[in-house]
Structure 1
Amino acid sequence: MFAQERRDVILQVLHQDGTVLVKDLSERFAVTEDCIRKDLAFLENQGFLKRTYGGAMELRSNPHKFHVSDRKSEDIEGKQMIAKKAFAHLSRGDTVYLDISTSNLELMKEIVRNSLEVKVVTNMVDLIPLAASGGIQLFFTGGELNRTGDGFWGSGAIRFIERFRFDKGFFGAVGMDVDTGGAFTYDLEDGSVKSAAIRSCRRAFLVAEQEKFHKDGNYEFARLTQFEAVILDREPDREIGEKAQKAGVLLE
């Protein structure tokens, strides 16, 4: 297969899946990983994609533009695994912050299922119906409704959050980078709320699928070292695990 043919196929896969990994493409085309990296560099220079750690992502509008309800059915098993790991960090009587995250939706279900008596503060709309069950006290930040209608941000939400001192907080991200050490989102407003809540936490955790290490965002809202642990759905790639360990980032 000629280089241009290979690059055309790469773009087709990218359009279908949103992301590609160097390792997977190398195996698919039976060429070296260095060859694939050169292909991705060429396509990036042409404006077709953005290279990320270990692969590339499609250049497109914010993939999280849809309401949480449009994403919560994706990879349910992975999110449930994250939720179970996160739940293990909770104790009766905790005051907990839950960020806008489909993994936190599963964590809230886990809290309700186990009838754990905690206080939950959140800016996530989809958590409200779940809080009616069990011994959960729910505090909603209020503020400005975000663009997707699934939560609140703005100065009102931040002022409300800053009144609390959370025992634990759980935060989502659209991307993570073990090389730069950043956790990313797409919106400054969303990132500002996340950052404020992290500052108000005694213990903060990042909850995300392992694949988020291969995705990127526009705004860094935290350093990975600010989190007690990054809670994943499955074991990360060995190279990522080694880099995280070297950087002092605990992966669960």
Structure 2
Amino acid sequence: MLGIERRRKIMEKLNEHKKVYVQDLSQLFDVTDETIRRDLEKLEQQNLVKRCYGGAVINDHTSQDISFFKRIGINSVGKNYIAKKAEFLINDGDTLMVDASTTCLALLHHLKHKKNLTIITNSIRVINEFVNSDFNIISTGGNLRSHSYALTGAVACDTIQKYFVDTVIIGCKALDIKKGLMESNEPESIIKRQMIEQAQKCILLADSSKFDKIAFTRTCDLSQVDYIVTDKEPNPEWLEFIKSNDIKIIY
């Protein structure tokens, strides 16, 4: 097994149990304790874990895969503010791809007055909440991640690849100038990546808590984003980066 694959499985264990032990991992992967210690050191350098005596614990603030119901209650004021700002980027007749993030859900509630919107989504919450709306909704289908109400996997990706849209609207777990957009889990990261490929324009909805954070898996470079809509003005380094990369920011 390659080291990168082993570290990915270690992170899966950490997401489930919050703590791992060197001896248990060395037996599980049939490698030496020293190999596991090097793996944990690399994960710590990425700010994903904190090493402790005999093992490591997860950095919850960056890598925890928080459930949909917990996420929907986090910074609801900021999400609603972002949704109001992003509303004006969407026009009547637009075709959209929308991920399963809670901020995207908030935005759709502000778009109900728009006419002839087509929405392709992997969110079963969106399908449920807007079943009686005037939106033309296309579900990706796929494997259900009940933890986040998101459809993922090969079927979802195949559906997404069939369509080309005006705009993709996504959220993220973390945002870093050098590392780009990141997610807490790979299945949803893959879906977001595929959606971006199918859209002419990409809108990222990210509240200020997501900036300068690290999460488990990389989604894409910031160069693939056209608009960032957030709730507070970023620091000067971010503003300079955004300007130099021809990204438009709204706050």
TM class, shorter-chain normalised?
A: 0.7 to 0.9
User: 8 Å contact 1:131–1:137 — kept in the other structure?
Assistant: no
Equivalent in the alignment of 1:101: 101
Matched, 1:50 2:53: no
TM-score (norm 1): 0.72
User: 8 Å contact 1:108–1:130 — kept in the other structure?
Assistant: no
Map 1:1-252 to 2 at 5 A.
Answer: 50=47, 59-60=59-60, 64-112=64-112, 114-146=113-145, 148-178=147-177, 180=178, 182-252=180-250
Equivalent residue of 1:184, what SS? strand
For 2:154 and 2:226, locate their aligned partners in 1 and report how far apart those are by CA, in whole Å. 27
Deviation of residue 116 (structure 1)?
3.5
Q: Alignment length, in residue pairs?
A: 200
Deviation of residue 92 (structure 1)?
1.1
For 1:238 and 1:190, locate their aligned partners in 2 and report how far apart those are by CA, in whole Å. 31
Deviation of residue 131 (structure 1)?
1.5
Deviation of residue 64 (structure 1)?
4.9
Please tell me the root mean square deviation across aligned C-alpha atoms, in Å: 2.5
Q: Show CA shifts across 1:196-240 (max 9, x none).
A: 110000111111112211211122111111111111122112232
Equivalent in the alignment of 1:14: none
Structure 2: runs of 5 or more not aligned: 1-40, 49-57
Q: Show CA shifts across 1:146-182 (max 9, x none).
A: 261511110100000011111111011111111x151
Structure 1: runs of 5 or more not aligned: 1-43, 52-57
Equivalent residue of 2:211, what SS? helix
User: 8 Å contact 2:63–2:184 — kept in the other structure?
Assistant: no
Q: What is the letter of the counterpart of residue 225 of structure 2?
A: F
For 1:59 and 1:217, locate their aligned partners in 2 and report how far apart those are by CA, in whole Å. 9
TM-score (norm 2): 0.72
Q: Sort the Cα spacing of 1:110 and 1:224 in 2 relative to 1 into closer, same or farther, 3 A.
A: same
For 1:198 and 1:141, locate their aligned partners in 2 and report how far apart those are by CA, in whole Å. 15
For 1:251 and 1:172, locate their aligned partners in 2 and report how far apart those are by CA, in whole Å. 15
For 1:116 and 1:76, locate their aligned partners in 2 and report how far apart those are by CA, in whole Å. 26
Equivalent residue of 1:202, what SS? strand
Deviation of residue 65 (structure 1)?
2.5
* % identity of equivalent residues: 22
